[in-house]
Amino acid sequence: MNETFNTKGTARAAVPSPLIESNRVEGTAVFDPSGKHIGSIKRLVIEKMSGRVVYTVASFGGFLGLGGNDYTIPWNKLTYDVSLGGYQTDITESQLKGSPPFSQDPGWDYADREHERALNDYYDAPYYWR
Amino acid sequence: MNETFNTKGTARAAVPSPLIESNRVEGTAVFDPSGKHIGSIKRLVIEKMSGRVVYTVASFGGFLGLGGNDYTIPWNKLTYDVSLGGYQTDITESQLKGSPPFSQDPGWDYADREHERALNDYYDAPYYWR
């Protein structure tokens, strides 16, 4: 898995890179606290001005029996784990199922601050804005 | 251009969103200080741990006669301009042409800190790491 992150067809030393290209984040695994593979990242949601990743859209379908829905979750609910080669989260299946519907809506309007407030409140995540 | 950022097939109010999904950053325009369209972003390079965008890979070919090469440039050399609907940079054509060759190498190994140092020094950009 590390090789996938570190090289792009080259044969350099397999030192784990702290960096990853956005087009390679898609598909990165998400694990639960016990290290079980529960989903994967589909895309990142970035604050344009600062360049900070504030949310991720992740797919948990097929792992939790959630029917393949995508869920928008606050970025800080994910922790990158080098040994797992992916992100770990403490979000539970029931939390995902009960999350605000717009977080599963591919047409979600990111300009709606009230929606964002509800999402961050739901996951007890700090607002990324002032 | 704003509509492209804000909506995904929905017809909501066209309030400029401060957020953008990673799969929609590709293709975002890059402008010079005078507002001239000089290139476009191909992908972002993200520090996995923090979720910060630290570099962008941008294509300037066709605009500066650089032969379509991609260049890795420090993220903080770009400033998002809402009115332009894209990123503005003060990097010049001659700077790009003289930049470290690895920044144009699609097989660039991001684990090589010395390469990163050279790149950031070249553009007089602060290191994003400690």
Residue-wise pLDDT for A18-52, tens only, equals 788 887 777 889 998 888 888 999 888 988 777 88
pLDDT digits (tens, 9 = 90+) for B75-91: 889 988 889 988 899 99
Exposure class string for A98-116: b at 16+ Cβ within 10 A, else e: ebbeebbeeebbbbeeebb
Whether residue B44 lies within 8 A of chain A, CB to CB, comes out as: yes
More confident call, A2 vs B84: B84
From A50, A85, A102, select the one nearest B48 (Cα to Cα).
A85
CB contact under 8 A, B107 and A8: yes
Q: Report the distance separating Cα A44 and Cα B51, nearest Å.
A: 9
Look at A23 and B46 and tell me if their CB atoms are within 8 Å.
no
Strands (E), A9-123: 19-21, 29-31, 37-47, 52-59, 70-74, 78-81, 86-89
Can you give the pLDDT at residue A114?
85
Q: Is the pLDDT of residue A129 over 50?
A: yes
Task: Give the distance, in angstroms, between the CA of residue A41 and the centroid of all CA atoms in the same chain.
Answer: 5
* Interface contact A16-B111, CB threshold 8 A: yes
Residue A123 predicted with pLDDT over 90: yes
pLDDT, position B8: 39
Listed as ranges, residues in chain B with pLDDT below 50 are: 1-13
Reported as a pLDDT band with limits 50, 70 and 90, residue A6 is very low
Q: Are A73 and A95 in contact (CB under 8 A)?
A: no
- Residues in chain A closer than 8 A to B127 (CB atoms): none
**Per-residue pLDDT at A100:** 85
Max Cα separation, chain A? Answer: 48
**How much is the pLDDT for B1?**
36
What is the interface pTM, i.e. ipTM, of the complex?
A: 0.73
For residues B27 and B16, what is the distance between their CA atoms, to the nearest angstrom? 18
Task: Determine which helix (DSSP H) or strand (DSSP E) holds B116, and give its type and residue range.
Answer: helix B113-122
Most B-contacting residue of A2, A24, A44, A103 (CB-CB within 10 A), to test interface:
A44
Predicted confidence (pLDDT) per residue in A45-90, tens digit: 988 777 889 999 998 876 555 556 788 999 889 988 889 988 999 9
Q: In this complex, which of B5, B44, B111 lies closest to A6 when CB atoms are compared?
A: B111
- What pLDDT is recorded for position A98? 87
A112: pLDDT strictly greater than 90 = no
